[in-house]
Amino acid sequence: MGMAAGQARLLSITARLSDNEQSGQAVSYSKQRLADETEQLNAAYLAALEATKLTVLTGFNGTDANYTDISYGLMTGFDTVACGKQYIITNNKGKVLVSQELANAFEKGNGDFNIFLAELGYTQSDIDNYIENDEANGDENYSLANQAVHEAWDKYLRSVGIIFEDDEHENGNADIVYGYSDNSGNFDLYGGYATYQIDSDGDGNLDGVLPLNYEGTTQEQRELYDYAVAITTELYNHINGGNSNRYNGKTLSNNNELEAGYISYYKNIFNKMSTAGYYTEANEKDTIKDNNWFEQQLRDGKLLLQYYSTTEKSFVSTSISEDDAIQEVEDEREIARVETKYNQDLAALEKKDQNFDLELKKLDTEHSALQNEYDSVKNVIDKNVEKSFNAFS
Q: What is the mean pLDDT of residues 38-66?
A: 79
Give the DSSP per-residue string, 65-103: EEEEE--HHHHHSTT-STT---EEEE-TT--EE--HHHH
Query: Model-level pTM?
Result: 0.57
Asked whether 80 and 90 are in contact (CB, 8 A), the reply is no
Q: In a 10 Å sphere around its CB, with 0-12 CB exposed, 13-18 middle and 19+ buried, how is residue 173 labelled?
A: buried
Q: CA 267 to CA 314: how far, in whole Å?
A: 11
Q: CA 321 to CA 271: how far, in whole Å?
A: 27
Tens of pLDDT, residues 43-54: 777 766 666 788
Q: CA 349 to CA 346: how far, in whole Å?
A: 5
CA 177 centroid distance within chain: 42
Q: CA 76 to CA 214: how far, in whole Å?
A: 30
Task: Please tell me whether residue 330 adopts helix, strand or coil conformation.
Answer: strand
Sign of CA dihedral 82, 84, 89, 93: negative
Task: Say yes or no to pLDDT of 391 above 70.
Answer: no
Task: Please tell me whether residue 52 adopts helix, strand or coil conformation.
Answer: strand
Q: How many helices and strands (H and E) does the chain possess?
A: 10, 13
Supply the pLDDT for residue 201: 62
Q: CA 80 to CA 86: how far, in whole Å?
A: 9
**Angle subtended at Cα 386 by Cα 385 and Cα 391, rounded to the nearest 5 degrees:** 100
Tens of pLDDT, residues 220-260: 888 888 888 778 777 777 776 644 444 445 666 665 666 67
Asked whether 90 and 303 are in contact (CB, 8 A), the reply is yes
Contacts of 304 (CB under 8 A, 6+ apart): 89, 90, 91, 92, 298, 317, 319
Judging by DSSP bridges, how do beta strands 250-252 and 122-124 pair with one another? parallel
Tens of pLDDT, residues 299-319: 999 999 999 998 998 999 999
Domain residue spans of the chain: 3-50+337-391, 52-99+280-330, 103-276
Higher pLDDT, 205 or 161: 161
